[in-house]
Every structure is written in C-alpha cells, then in structure tokens.
Amino acid sequence: MNIDILLGKTKEHLVPLEGTKFFVHQQMLHDFLKLQQSAKKDGFDLQIASAFRDYDRQLSIWNAKARGERQLLDDQERPLDFSLLSPTQIVFAILRWSALPGCSRHHWGSDIDIFDGNSQNASEVKLVPSECIANGPAARLHEWLDVQLAHKKAFGFFRPYDTDQGGISPERWHLSYYPISRRVIDVYTFSVFKKNILESEVVLKEVILEHADEIFQRFIMSFDLP
C-alpha cells in the first residue's frame, strides 16, 4: 500500500460521492450506497457530514489548536483555559478530539461521519455526543444502526470509537469501512507514525516526540473492532 494513503497525502484511492462535495475510497462506495439504501427503506436519510480529509487540512486544525487559536474542550465539551495548560496538557487535550496530521482515519477514505438528513440540515450538524443519544436529532438513526450492527447488516461498516478506551473521545457518528481500514491499520506501524511526525511542521513537535509511544498506543492503536 502507498504510504501516502495512510497519511492523507494523495487522493489516488478516492472517488467523488455523487451529489456531494465528499470523496470516499473507491472500494467503499458500493457498500456505502447499500447502507444508505437500507437506512432509507427504514425511514432515515443517512448523510455524510465528513469523509476524506487531507493532510494539510488536519495540519491546520492541529496547529490552530496547538497555538491556542481554536478552542480546546475537556471531556464534557467544556472550554479549557489555554493559558493554564502545560505543553504536554495541550497535546493530550487536542488528541482527545482531534488527530495529528497523518494520523486521522479520515485520511484513508474508509471513514465517514454521518447524520440523519431527515432531522438535521448539514449546516446544523456539530458532531457532538448529545446529537446521537436520547432526544438528539441523530439518536433514532443510531438506534437503527445499533440493530444493523448487532445483526451484521451494516455492509462492512462499524464504529471504531464506540466506547471510551482512554484515547479518542467516543464518537457514535464516526463509521469505518472494515475491509479497507483494517488493511491500513495493518501497515500503520510505529515507525511510519514517528517518521511522519519528524518530517512534519506540526506545532509542539518536541512534546509529541517525547510521548510518541504513548500517543501511538492510545490514539492510533486503541479502537473498537466490529
């Protein structure tokens, strides 16, 4: 596999999703459309809020947060006071909600964030836990998806961040296409991770390198399986 696919540095594996601005992995498109059809039959408009994201976009998100230009949140979605945090605390606060450039599953084309177009406009979607539970606008869609997943009727999709493993915050809206993403994770080694960081223009690089082992284990290798 081309390492650039792991790192979000190429679009060669992608196709556009018709009628949207999004790109997805060409081998995932067919099964995504089947999942969307299946949802439609049961009364849901399963739409994508985010799909492929490239390296440069992830770098600018990271660096804005690492410079204090974008709000950091704690586990309960409450704003953190940037001026009170040490560099190490800043790195781990960002990692709870955002990936390092070269480390996002959204680089792979296999992963998407979803919402229910019947109950929310795309512009209203925030992708926060409260949208997906209780009376949240995407709650019914996710209850439906729970059933599909339990019966292996999700066409290869699963939730890699369903439970809190102490790394990335739970994200019920984030789906991954297993036939592709497991092939990527197989070749995503620690040396790929470390080389990517060393060669990057990421802010707080020294702190990230100092904690490289822990970051790799907690934020890249820790996820739920189907």
Return residues touching Zn ion (CB under 5 A).
Answer: 113, 174
User: Which residue do the tokens 């223009």 mark?
Assistant: 201
Nearest approach in angstroms of CB 106 to Zn ion is 6
Select 173 or 216, whichever has its Cβ closest to Zn ion. 173
Rounded least distance, CB 127 to Zn ion, Å: 7
Cβ proximity to Zn ion, 97 vs 207, nearer residue: 97
Minimum distance between the CB of residue 129 and Zn ion, rounded to whole angstroms?
Answer: 13
Taking CA atoms, 28 is separated from 4, 42, 176, 220, in Å, by 18, 22, 10, 21
Closer CB to Zn ion, 54 or 113, in the complex: 113
**DSSP code of residue 79:** B
DSSP string for 158-203: E-TTSS--SSSPP-TTEEEEHHHHHHHHHH--HHHHHHHHHTS--T
CB of 50 to Zn ion, least distance (A): 6
Q: Shortest gap between Cβ of 51 and Zn ion (angstroms)?
A: 9
CB of 175 to Zn ion, least distance (A): 8
The tokens for 155 are 């066409």
Nearest residue to the partner Zn ion, using Cβ = 174
Instruction: Give the single-character DSSP code of 14.
Output: E
Please state whether 174 falls in left (phi above 0), alpha (psi between -120 and 50) or beta.
Answer: beta
Closer CB to Zn ion, 103 or 207, in the complex: 103
- CB-wise, 176 or 196, nearer to Zn ion? 176
Measure the CA–CA gap between 46 and 41, rounded to whole angstroms: 11
| CA 219 to centroid of chain Cα atoms | 11
CA angle, residues 145, 176, 168, in degrees to nearest 5: 100
If the CB atoms of residues 159 and 174 are measured against Zn ion, the closer one turns out to be 174
State the nearest-atom distance from the C-beta of 81 to Zn ion, in Å. 26
Q: Which is nearer to Zn ion, 13 or 174 (CB)?
A: 174
Angle in degrees, CA 162, 166, 172, rounded to 5: 20
Determine contact, residues 100/197, Cβ cutoff 8 Å.
yes
